[in-house]
């Protein structure tokens, strides 16, 4: 099978290679998925440059990158029902703490990590559900319903952010989002009630003004370190900040007193480490939104598997207008 590999950490152009490798075989409890699309996420390009936290050095002979993907089950290992063969699925944690991810024509992995794709959902959309979809859904609904609440989505034009906007709106919330000027129209189309420029010097004042001078109940946060001062000003008492990123400032200084006297919950989200119960509930909620036709998926570009280097570089460049996918194989099943 064709697969993208790297055998050392480094720049995409230096370490990514297209290889022919033996097809994997599903072990007990595993399924074999013929991959249609592989999703490229910021975490995938960071792993390529520095590895995964908790793993020392370069732990395998080679790595096939990417955690997200979609495809069709073509074989099953012992203990997995043959009825799963032919199932359209989406994949989570494909390359998390294991060597072989979804940037290949086939992947063998535990059966529960290949989730049946709801009827009518495209394989392209399926490749976005793993990290972006689960992160957005858990950030919005991880601590309960949002109906009648106000949700602030910081970074509403990002792949996670625009899904969070749609999910919060579907959940019955009033949604305020921030983004750059170039993303305003996309975020409004996604359902945000108000979209503000994240660079505004008086952003906190604008958020409160947009919510009838009331603080917000939940903040979905893409840049925790840079935005915590603003967040602390606009969050409500007993509010929650669900932070899934802080790339620009990895050692933030917290305004502890404002957070303390509002009894704010700061939740750091790493979707790879959801508990089984959290993951099951989040998948169920995400599928409910899909079946309600509540989600649209922006895909910036689909690259051929031979163009993996360009795909990684597109993600590293930032300022994307949607997800970046690699077409790994034929699109059987829809």
Boundaries of domain holding 309: 2-128+298-327
What single DSSP character describes residue 223? B
Share above pLDDT 70 across residues of the chain, in percent, rounded to a whole number: 99
Asked if pLDDT for residue 265 goes beyond 50, the answer is yes
Average pLDDT rounded to a whole number, residues 193-206: 98
pLDDT in tens, 271-285: 999 999 999 999 999
143 shares its domain with 122: no
Banded model confidence at residue 332, pLDDT cuts 50, 70, 90: very low
pLDDT in tens, 153-193: 999 999 999 999 999 999 999 999 999 999 999 999 999 99
Banded model confidence at residue 137, pLDDT cuts 50, 70, 90: very high
Share above pLDDT 90 across residues of the chain, in percent, rounded to a whole number: 94
138 shares its domain with 40: no
221 shares its domain with 319: no
For residue 251, the domain's CATH number is 3.90.180.10
* pLDDT score recorded for residue 330: 57
In the chain, DSSP assigns E strands to 2-5, 17-20, 30-40, 68-76, 88-91, 106-110, 114-116, 150-154, 174-179, 194-197, 216-221, 235-243, 265-268, 299-304, 323-327
175 shares its domain with 247: yes
Give this prediction's pTM. Answer: 0.96
Q: How far apart are alpha carbons 35 and 326 in whole angstroms?
A: 10
93 shares its domain with 216: no
Banded model confidence at residue 318, pLDDT cuts 50, 70, 90: confident
165 shares its domain with 58: no
93 shares its domain with 26: yes
């Amino acid at each position: 099978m064709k697969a993208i590999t790297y055998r050392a950490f480094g720049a995409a152009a230096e370490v990514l290679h297209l290889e022919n490798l033996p097809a994997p075989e599903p072990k007990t409890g595993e399924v074999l998925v013929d991959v249609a699309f592989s999703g490229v996420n910021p975490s995938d390009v960071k792993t390529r440059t520095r590895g995964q936290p908790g793993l020392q050095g370069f732990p395998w002979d080679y790595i096939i990158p990417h955690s997200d993907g979609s495809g069709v089950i073509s074989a099953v290992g012992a203990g997995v029902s043959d009825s799963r063969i032919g199932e359209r699925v989406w994949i989570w944690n494909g390359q998390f703490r294991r060597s072989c991810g979804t940037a290949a024509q086939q992947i063998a992995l535990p059966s529960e990590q290949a989730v049946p794709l709801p009827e009518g959902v495209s394989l392209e959309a399926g490749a976005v559900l793993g990290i972006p979809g689960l992160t957005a859904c858990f950030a919005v609904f991880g601590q309960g319903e949002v109906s009648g609440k106000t949700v602030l989505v910081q970074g509403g034009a990002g792949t996670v952010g625009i899904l969070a906007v749609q999910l919060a709106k579907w959940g019955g919330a009033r949604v305020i989002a921030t983004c750059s000027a170039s993303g305003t129209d996309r975020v409004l189309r996604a359902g945000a009630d108000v979209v503000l420029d994240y660079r505004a010097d008086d952003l906190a004042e604008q958020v409160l003004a947009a919510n009838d001078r009331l603080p917000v109940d939940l903040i979905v946060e893409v840049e925790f370190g840079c935005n915590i001062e603003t967040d602390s000003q606009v969050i409500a008492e007993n509010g929650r900040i669900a932070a899934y990123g802080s790339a620009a400032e990895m050692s933030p200084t917290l305004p502890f007193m404002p957070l303390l006297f509002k009894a704010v919950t700061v939740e750091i989200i790493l979707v790879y480490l959801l508990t089984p119960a959290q993951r099951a509930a989040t998948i169920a909620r995400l599928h409910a939104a899909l079946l309600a036709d509540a989600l649209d998926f922006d895909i910036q570009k689909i690259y051929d598997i031979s163009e993996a280097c360009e795909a990684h570089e597109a993600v590293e460049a930032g300022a994307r207008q949607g997800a970046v996918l690699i077409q790994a194989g034929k699109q059987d099943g829809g």
